[in-house]
Chains A and B, each alone.
Chain A
Amino acid sequence: DTGVSQDPRHKITKRGQNVTFRCDPISEHNRLYWYRQTLGQGPEFLTYFQNEAQLEKSRLLSDRFSAERPKGSFSTLEIQRTEQGDSAMYLCASSLGPGSYGYTFGSGTRLTVV
């Protein structure tokens, strides 16, 4: 158990459908991050929150991607009108503070768009 929980573990969806993933960070961690990992690549940073504030969202891949952390605890990542190119592993990480504290990663949600 990593302490960072992601749900679901796997998601298969048809092209054009919307999907939402959930991340529950380690409870005392105020920073939460989303990454995408495609086959053969390292994780790619998407966005992050400090408590409920989204401090960086320019790296989201398109306007179809959005993330929320309404109460500063769990977060959701939504992809609207999914495309086959969205198929990837979506990773969540949390941290006690700025990057020097280190990051704890969840096991990820694997999205397959058919």
Chain B
Amino acid sequence: AQSVSQHNHHVILSEAASLELGCNYSYGGTVNLFWYVQYPGQHLQLLLKYFSGDPLVKGIKGFEAEFIKSKFSFNLRKPSVQWSDTAEYFCAVNAGGGGADGLTFGKGTHLIIQP
């Protein structure tokens, strides 16, 4: 079974600061990796996803993530955050290669950007 660990449960940054949210997963096989964002009062939205190929993945709103297979990590980054990035961020994984479907989520990181 897969598991996902997000290291930071609460992060507070000032506008224009750089962001890195940690995500580690536990699974021995091929994986698909995702970052979702949930803005206050809204549904989960996909930020970016990794299936194969270039381990540096670019997503929407200036976010990117790097898959490091040797570290079982998929950290989310943004060079300069904005107040509108205040939200809950979830890392998720599912088994790749036609394995069982359905996502395993981390507990989330609550990001607050101070103006």
Given contacts A42-B106, A100-B49, A108-B43, 12 further A-B contacts (CB under 8 A): A33-B102, A42-B4, A42-B90, A42-B108, A45-B102, A56-B100, A99-B101, A99-B102, A100-B32, A103-B34, A104-B46, A105-B45
A-B contact pairs, 28 of them (CB 8 A): A4-B43, A31-B101, A40-B107, A40-B108, A41-B107, A41-B108, A42-B4, A42-B90, A42-B105, A42-B106, A42-B108, A43-B103, A45-B103, A47-B102, A48-B101, A48-B102, A56-B101, A56-B102, A99-B96, A99-B101, A99-B103, A100-B32, A100-B51, A100-B96, A102-B34, A102-B46, A103-B34, A108-B43
Which B residues touch A45, using CB under 8 A? 102-104
The size bracket of the interface on A is 20 to 34
Which B residues touch A100, using CB under 8 A? 32, 49, 51, 96
**Interface residue ranges, B against A (CB under 8 Å):** 4, 32, 34, 36, 42-46, 49, 51, 90, 92, 94-96, 98, 100-108
